[in-house]
Amino acid sequence: MDPIIEQIAKELEKSPQHVENVVALLDEGNTIPFIARYRKELHGAMDDTALRTLEERLGYLRGLAQRKEAVKAAIAEQGKLTEELSASIDAAATLAEVEDLYRPYKQKRRTRATVAREKGLAPLAEALLAPDAPDPLTEAARYVDADKGVETAEDALSGASDIVAEMVSDDAALRGKLRKLLGREGKLSSHALTEEDSVYRLYYDFSQPLSRLQGHQILAINRGEKEGILKVDVEVDRETALQTVRRSVVIPGSAAMAFLKAAAEDAYDRLLFPSLEREMRSELTERAQEGAIGQFALNLKPLLMQPPVKGKVTMGLDPGYRMGCKVAVVDGTGKVLSTAVVYPTHGQRQREEAIAVLARLIQKHGVEHIAIGNGTASRETEQMAVELIRRVKEQGASVSYMIVSEAGASVYSASPLAAEEFPEYDVNLRSAVSIARRLQDPLAELVKIDPKAIGVGQYQHDCPPKRLDEALGGVVEDCVNAVGVDVNTASPSLLQHVAGLTAATAKNIVKYREDNGPFTSRKQILKVPKLGPKAFEQCAGFLRVPESKSVLDNTAVHPESYAAAQELLTLTGHTLSDVASGKLGDLPAQVKSYGEEAAAAQCGVGLPTLRDVTAELMKPGRDIRDELPKPILRTDVLEMKDLKPGMTLTGTVRNVIDFGVFVDIGVHQDGLVHISQVADRYIRHPSEVVSVGDVVKVVVLDVDEKKKRISLSMRQAGKE
């Protein structure tokens, strides 16, 4: 078996056969969502996260293998590749180790050692490194040559020292030892370059062992250094490090001991430590960035998977001061019914006019929910909305509201995509439409926005854009495919995240249904231009066709398993019409009674597929988000001044970061639950306990109205 597959299986604690199957599926061009959902027999029911980790590790290890071959070829060209060196390169576990081994053979820019070699001083350096080294000054005198620029014996020794220092610096084993020492005993320190107060105040006199540094600390320090506010250093005990360096080069009793000790110190101070410091800073930054990207992805998933408030006429309010509050009313499918602009913050008369305008819109269109963006003037708009709700209640209307994160709404409303979708509306009104739709179907609306702009990350702007886009794109893809997409109503933005589809084929699907009317079967999707059999195989199971005569077209059952589904229904005495009318009774119990393995064999599928088909037949057209806790809809307003320490409130988790959790408790300003107040037990990260979108109980610990800070506790709420 391929050593890479064996290594991945060991690292991920998965069966080598399952890993080999996944690698083969990936190499055949299958997508992660398709493999996760429809090839469970081949991968042992790994989830999409495990499959993406496997794919990432496969890419790294294949890249490492290619680099090893390239390095060996480059050294062989120089005629210096020995069996021992080749074996060392093959055994290297990381790219850093490979580069360490390649270092002595890599073409270098002109260095002090290069100059010394050009002066013919390499034999002197080799003689002084030998166990039977001669007296350095006496030997050096033999290399004095004014024509070559070596005027004195001291000049010759200086050049030989430069050569020895570079040889020591290029020693792969020594670099490995120093790297471990730095990781074990090194510290990162930062000091202020200014006396002025700033957001980096915590790091004005900071020192922390490298092994204990948190990702958010590393990224904050990096940013402070970039802005010229902090000076940052990696520190390790110099004498301890020098002992390691000396041991690698100094031969006890040699006549050249003093010379070699000095060369070793020069190698450490001038070459080794600066190089390892840069490497360590780079490694710390990469680790912190990966952590930040991972946390962003972790927060993004539950945000996208928030339960939709379906089928309700919704009013979106995009608050503002100078430009007023933008209003959009959309029907249950998200179609815009009406728009307006009101000015509730411009005075009492304008506030009354605003309430009157909105009340008429509520009565005219039967609005049931109001979505309010959480940006500028949100609090005043919320207070107006509560007054509005009271007034329309007197007229017999029942309306509730919810504060919606408007992160990225302005980015979307000014985008070419929004202009294409709403050419007739002003940029500001598009934002109000987006806010209304975010309440109705968060996933369908948020996929239109660059994930980086959604606002559930920490230091995401300090992360490599390509890597961040890859990770967040994977999350969006997994969420869209987990939910499924109605092929007759989905926007191109949503469709392009379906497994096997691209931006071009997504547009072709929309164009096809505009030209030919709604799709009436999954098979009809094959008629879409440039959507071939492979793309159909990948996407078909994730596209729903509610208008189809076959109920299976509105489930996650893949067309390749339709025959198995029919056979299963026959075995248990049912028909497709029973599926459509919900008259299957307890189908899972019937299958178990028949014998799952026998049923699977009879249907020609594996057990995982049989169970998935059974579950889908029980709930055709289901949305997995409907099983999650519903979002909190309010009818009254709470202000910051109403909060008192000890109050118990219910809130929604808005963001989870390294040092705590931000919770929306309905006062416009999110409160912070510090990591120490998240749980009664020790946790390394808040994500072990909560996710974005979770509804939690919290107790108010402290309120600072001036600084707009609210301290909360989930621990104490648990004791209520």
Please list, in sequence order, all residues whose beta carbon lies within 8 angstroms of the beta carbon of residue 504, skipping any fewer than 6 positions away: 530
Confirm if 139 and 124 have CB atoms less than 8 A apart. yes
Indicate the class that CATH gives domain 314-440: alpha beta
Taking residues 499-526, what's their average pLDDT? 96
Rounded-to-integer distance, Cα 318 and Cα 376, Å: 9
Residue 288 backbone phi and psi in degrees, to 5: -65, -40
Contact between residue 341 and residue 325 where contact means Cβ atoms under 8 Å apart: yes
Helices 348-365 & 378-394, crossing angle to 10 degrees? 60
**Amino acid 667: pLDDT:** 79
- Residue that has been written with the tokens 């005993």 in this structure: 185
Helix and strand element counts for the chain (H, E): 32, 15
Banded model confidence at residue 718, pLDDT cuts 50, 70, 90? low
700: β partners:
712
List the beta strands (DSSP E) in 453-530.
485-486
Q: Which regions of the chain carry the CATH code 3.30.420.140?
A: 314-440
Residue type, 121: L
Question: What CA–CA distance (Å, rounded) separates 626 from 307?
Answer: 6
- The conformation of residue 498, written as its DSSP 8-state character, comes to S
Question: Does pLDDT of 608 surpass 50?
Answer: yes
What percentage of the chain exceeds 70 in pLDDT?
99
Relative to beta strand 660-664, strand 543-544 is unpaired
Q: Average pLDDT for residues 474-491, to the nearest whole number?
A: 94
Distance (Å, whole) CA 454 – CA 611: 36
CB atoms within 10 A of CB 44: 15
Instruction: Count CB neighbours of 707 within 10 A.
Output: 7
Q: Give me the pLDDT at residue 664, please.
A: 87
Is residue 186 over pLDDT 50?
A: yes
Confidence of residue 636 (pLDDT cuts 50, 70, 90): confident
DSSP codes, 278-290: HHHHHHHHHHHHH
Distance (Å, whole) CA 324 – CA 342: 6
pLDDT of residue 56: 94
Segment among 63-67, 376-380, 563-567 with least mean pLDDT:
376-380
| Residue 458: pLDDT over 80 | no
Are 470 and 335 contacting, i.e. CB atoms less than 8 angstroms apart? no
Task: Give me 501's structure tokens.
Answer: 């589809």
Q: Is the pLDDT of residue 258 over 80?
A: yes
State pLDDT tens for residues 210-231.
Answer: 999 999 999 999 999 999 999 9
pLDDT at 650: 86
Q: What is the CATH number of domain 640-718?
A: 2.40.50.140
Residue 629 DSSP class: P
Buried b / exposed e along 651-663 (16+ C-beta atoms within 10 A): bbbbbbbbebbbb
**3-105 adopts what CATH topology?**
Arc Repressor Mutant, subunit A (1.10.10)
Q: Which burial class, exposed, middle or buried, applies to 565 when counting CB atoms under 10 A from its CB (0-12, 13-18, 19+)?
A: buried
User: What was the pLDDT predicted at 716?
Assistant: 80
* Digit-coded pLDDT (tens) for 49-64: 999 999 999 999 999 9
Residue length, the chain?
Answer: 720
Q: Are 127 and 134 in contact (CB under 8 A)?
A: yes
Q: Which residues pair with 704 in a beta bridge?
A: 709
pLDDT band (50, 70, 90) for residue 720: very low
Tokens of 614: 């059974």
Contacts of 503 (CB under 8 A, 6+ apart): 492, 496
Query: Is residue 633 very low, low, confident or very high in pLDDT (cuts 50, 70, 90)?
Result: confident
Residue-level pLDDT at 639: 77
Query: Residues spanned by CATH 2.40.50.140 within the chain?
Result: 640-718
262: number of Cβ within 10 Å: 14
Which CA distances in Å does 315 have to 437, 583, 591? 9, 38, 46
CA 313 – CA 397 distance, rounded (Å): 13
CA dist 338 and 320 (Å) reads 19
Element (H, E) at 115: helix 112-118
Residues 6+ apart with CB under 8 A from 499: 31, 32, 33, 34, 477, 481, 538, 539, 542
Contact (Cβ atoms closer than 8 angstroms) between residue 377 and residue 323: no
Average pLDDT of the chain, as a whole number: 93
CATH 1.10.10.650-classified regions of the chain: 3-105
In angstroms, the CA 262 to CA 274 distance is 17
**What's the DSSP call for residue 631?**
P
d(CA 503, CA 552) in angstroms, rounded, equals 26
pLDDT tens by residue, 91-130: 999 999 999 999 999 988 889 999 999 999 999 999 999 9
Over the stretch 408-443, which tens digit does the pLDDT of each residue have?
A: 888 888 888 899 888 999 888 999 999 999 999 999
Coil vs helix vs strand at 660: strand
Place of tokens 């006199």: 205
Q: Tell me which amino acid residue 187 is.
A: K
For the chain, give the longest Cα–Cα distance: 108
